[in-house]
Amino acid sequence: MTLRGDGWRITGTGRDLVKRDALEEIGIEPVAFDGTAPLGAGALEGVSHVVLSIPPGAEGDPVLRHHAETLAGLEALEWVGYLSATSVYGDSGGTLVDEEAPLRATTERGTRRIAAERDWLTLCADRNVPVHVFRLAGIYGPGRSSFEALRAGSARRIGAPGHLFSRIHVDDIVAVLLASMAAKRPGTVYNVCDDRAAESAEVTAFAAGLLGIEPPPLVPLEDATLSPMARSFYQDNRLIDNSRIKSELGVELLYPDYQAGLKSILDEEETR
């Protein structure tokens, strides 16, 4: 929405009518795309910037599968941003990993991300498509933070001492992408996270304190009943180095830690 305020024309894809209606409500022109078939003819004509946020499936990245040749032939194309995830690193035993660290994903999701990154960067190298890769940590922001589960009474505090998670506020993701659009470096990979990784239980307790309620009881990880998806997040323990977004893109994080981010979300809610 920042770019729309600057006069950009923005189009977004949605896999179903509900998603497309949601895009239209916020002023984005909706286009149907569910990954099973290409976009309609001419849908990418005149496009200058592309943000790719669709996760790869078992058959790979759907945009790359259907539109690699189209993107390679777009004369107006200046910048492509592929949103990946820090899961590509796998487990570093809690040590710091930068963008040059080995990719040793331990989950199927992470392995698919590695393959998609490789294929997008190959398109960049072979066909001069201006691809930039952004490895995002856990995303939070208004409507998607610890507050929702706490208010619903479904929040859990899992005790995993020393197991730190990196996060990034959605507004800081936007800031990184805009900075990259202004300082294009095709083929570059960026870690995108804030300055302070923290245990999940710590974040939930802090959010409960902001709401003025008691935090959920602490449950040791080994005693917690978790879905396979939820438990998979505890397989890996790593710290993410975010220095490149600062040194190369000049980014100053709006929310350098989860405390600042959660306080801002609550302040925004209270002023509506």
Q: What six digits make up the tokens of 161?
A: 């001492």
E-state strands within 210-256: 218-220, 239-240
Domain assignment present for residue 226? The answer is yes
Q: What six digits make up the tokens of 139?
A: 């995303």
- Residue for token pair 């920042």: 2
pLDDT band at 17 (very low <50, low <70, confident <90, very high): confident
Mean pLDDT for the chain overall: 93
Q: What six digits make up the tokens of 218?
A: 């602490």
Residue 1 has pLDDT above 80, yes or no: no
Please classify residue 140 by burial: count the beta carbons closer than 10 Å to its beta carbon, then call 0-12 exposed, 13-18 middle and 19+ buried. buried
pTM of structure? 0.94
Domain assignment present for residue 30? The answer is no
Per-residue confidence (pLDDT) for residue 109, from 0 to 100: 93
More confident residue, 4 or 221: 221
- pLDDT digits 0-9 by tens, 111-161: 999 999 999 999 999 999 999 999 999 999 999 999 999 999 999 999 999
Per-residue confidence (pLDDT) for residue 228, from 0 to 100: 82
Domain assignment present for residue 196? The answer is yes
Per-residue confidence (pLDDT) for residue 208, from 0 to 100: 97
The average pLDDT across 215-226 equals: 89
- pLDDT digits 0-9 by tens, 183-209: 999 999 999 999 999 999 999 999 999
DSSP assigned state of 222: G
Rounded Cα distance, 57 and 115, in Å: 10
Torsion of CA 147, 150, 156, 159, to 10 degrees: 60
Domain assignment present for residue 69? The answer is yes
Say how many domains are in the chain: 1
- pLDDT digits 0-9 by tens, 23-75: 888 888 888 899 999 998 888 999 999 999 999 999 999 999 999 999 999 99
Residue range(s) defining the domain that contains residue 80: 35-271
pLDDT band at 5 (very low <50, low <70, confident <90, very high): low
Rounded Cα distance, 26 and 1, in Å: 8
Please classify residue 133 by burial: count the beta carbons closer than 10 Å to its beta carbon, then call 0-12 exposed, 13-18 middle and 19+ buried. buried
More confident residue, 8 or 213: 213
What CATH code is carried by the domain that includes residue 59? Answer: 3.40.50.720
